[in-house]
């Protein structure tokens, strides 16, 4: 995965504060348009768009702007301008070029380029295909509402659904738990779901996920989150087979359940299938890193994102969803 600048990193992962797909630099050749556009803010002076650079039949400039507003609108200092929507040699694929900057002048202006299907539904950025359009995450929200079945805290209703895809052996997931706890306090009407996504490079993660599902099955959601907190606190113990056994059993005991019973449950075909089903959900949603938070379907990779920015994006997504009703 290509890493980007922390500020204007990616159109795709900027759902989440831009972490992954597009490189925003002046290296991308842009259409020639040397005359600066008039701007009330001298820090932001984009070249004047040339009508000759809008050769594709779609998507429309309005659709592109709608997508950028959905992606970047949570940040009031961010500004952009659609410079080109170009026809390509490939049928039904257009090239979009956008100039981006910020009103404060703290960030260097840059150029973003992606390929988009003419119907405006999908974007090709790097090696990823991502949803596009004015409401890019509507389908992902529906899928998550239907299939995210992990332990949850907060509201039973799914008006605001925050789905955390996490791996018990992932260090960044451990770091994210403090912020997840804060979200539970700051958004009491949210349904906050823990969705297991054990990664293959973490040998103890799938077993820990199975234990967690059994704890939830036997003791309920409160027992699960106590178990999960204890496992994350003792995460280093998962690095060896004996340590994993001790860590998981201790967490089960702290949750008030019988380790022998949970161990037996964790090896049943039904529980193993449930873990794999959760992994399949992550894959179907094109989630490729942990921890990732879905905010009503909007993906936000949590690694390194300040808590206030997470809240800012959640609040903005709430407004977008309300306006779309």
For the chain, domain boundaries: 13-135, 139-317
Contacts of 154 (CB under 8 A, 6+ apart): 184, 187, 188, 189, 190, 191, 192
Residue 250 has what pLDDT?
98
- CB neighbours of residue 2 within 10 Å: 13
Based on the number of CB atoms within 10 Å of its own CB, is 8 exposed (0-12), middle (13-18) or buried (19 or more)?
buried
According to the model, what pLDDT value does residue 4 have?
30
The DSSP 8-state label assigned to residue 51 in this structure reads G
Whole-model pTM: value is 0.86
- Give the confidence band of 26 by pLDDT, cuts at 50, 70, 90: very low
299-323 pLDDT, tens digit each: 999 988 999 999 999 999 999 999 9
Q: Reply yes or no on whether the pLDDT at 58 is more than 80.
A: yes
Instruction: Look at the block and give the residue holding tokens 């077993």.
Output: 207
| H or E, element range at 316 | helix 307-324
Of the candidates 11, 9, 10, 46, the one whose C-alpha atom is nearest the C-alpha of residue 31 is 46
Q: How confident is the model at residue 96 (pLDDT cuts 50, 70, 90)?
A: very high
Report whether 95 contacts 115 (CB < 8 A). yes
The overall average pLDDT reported for the chain is 88
102 pLDDT tier (thresholds 50, 70, 90): confident
Provide the pLDDT confidence category of residue 164 given band limits of 50, 70 and 90.
Answer: very high
CATH architecture observed for domain 139-317: 3-Layer(aba) Sandwich (3.40)
- Give Cα 295 distance to the centre of its chain: 8
pLDDT confidence band for 43 (50 / 70 / 90) = low
Question: Residue 62 has what pLDDT?
Answer: 96
What separation in angstroms does the CA of 65 have from each of 22, 44, 47, 60, 208?
Answer: 17, 17, 17, 9, 43
Mean pLDDT of 74-98: 95
Tokens of 266: 């964790």
Enclosing H/E stretch for 208: helix 205-233
Strands 191-196 and 292-295: unpaired
Q: What is the DSSP letter of 32?
A: -
What's the angle, vertex CA 251, arms to CA 250 and CA 255, rounded to 5? 115
3-state SS track over 54-110: ECCCCCCHHHHHHHHHHHHCCCCCEEEEEEEEEECCCCCEEEEEEEEEECCCCCCCE
Mean pLDDT along residues 232-259: 97
Q: pLDDT tens for residues 108-153?
A: 788 999 999 999 999 998 888 899 999 999 999 999 999 999 999 9
Report the distance separating Cα 279 and Cα 289, nearest Å. 12
DSSP 19: -
**Exposure string (b/e) for 275-284, b if CB count within 10 Å is 16 or more?**
beebbebbee
Q: Among candidates 234, 254, 230, which has minimal Cα distance to 243?
A: 234
**194 vs 149: CA distance, rounded Å:** 8
- According to DSSP, the residues that pair with 115 across neighbouring strands are 95, 124
pLDDT confidence of residue 20: 31
Q: Is the pLDDT of residue 77 over 60?
A: yes
Residue 3's pLDDT is: 29
Average pLDDT on 167-189 reads 97
What band does 47 get if pLDDT is binned at 50, 70 and 90? confident
pLDDT of residue 24: 33
Q: Is 205 helix (H, G, I), strand (E, B) or coil?
A: helix
pLDDT of residue 324: 87
Average pLDDT, integer, range 87-114: 90
Of 255, 79, 238, the residue nearest 173 (C-alpha): 238
Residue 135 φ then ψ, to 5°: -130, 70
């Amino acid at each position: 995965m290509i890493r980007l600048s922390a500020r204007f990193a990616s159109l795709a992962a900027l759902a989440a504060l831009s972490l992954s797909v597009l490189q925003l630099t002046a290296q991308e050749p842009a259409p020639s348009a040397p005359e600066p556009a008039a701007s009330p803010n001298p820090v932001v002076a984009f070249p004047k768009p040339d009508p000759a650079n809008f050769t594709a039949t779609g998507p429309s400039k309005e659709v592109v702007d709608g997508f950028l507003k959905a992606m970047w609108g949570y940040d009031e200092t961010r500004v952009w301008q659609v410079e080109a929507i170009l026809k390509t040699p490939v049928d039904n694929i257009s090239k979009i070029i956008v100039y981006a900057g910020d009103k404060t002048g703290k960030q260097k202006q840059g150029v973003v380029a992606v390929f988009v299907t003419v119907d405006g539904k999908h974007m090709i950025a790097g090696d990823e295909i991502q949803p596009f359009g004015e409401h890019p995450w509507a389908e992902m929200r529906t899928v998550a509402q239907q299939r995210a079945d992990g332990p949850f805290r907060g509201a039973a209703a799914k008006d605001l659904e925050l789905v955390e895809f996490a791996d018990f052996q992932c260090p960044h997931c451990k770091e994210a738990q403090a912020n997840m706890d804060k979200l539970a306090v700051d958004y009491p009407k949210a349904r906050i779901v823990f969705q297991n996504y054990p990664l293959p490079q973490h040998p103890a993660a799938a077993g820990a996920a199975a234990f967690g599902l059994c704890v939830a099955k036997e003791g309920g959601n409160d027992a699960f989150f106590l178990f999960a907190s204890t496992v994350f606190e003792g995460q280093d113990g998962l690095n060896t087979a004996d340590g994993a056994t001790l860590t998981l059993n201790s967490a089960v005991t702290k949750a008030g359940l019988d380790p022998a019973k949970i161990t037996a449950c964790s090896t049943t075909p039904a529980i193993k299938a449930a873990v794999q089903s959760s992994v399949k959900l992550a894959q179907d949603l094109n989630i490729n890193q942990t921890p990732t938070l879905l905010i009503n379907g909007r993906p936000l990779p949590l690694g390194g994102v300040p808590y206030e920015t997470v809240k800012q994006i959640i609040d903005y997504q709430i407004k977008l969803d309300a306006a779309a009703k």
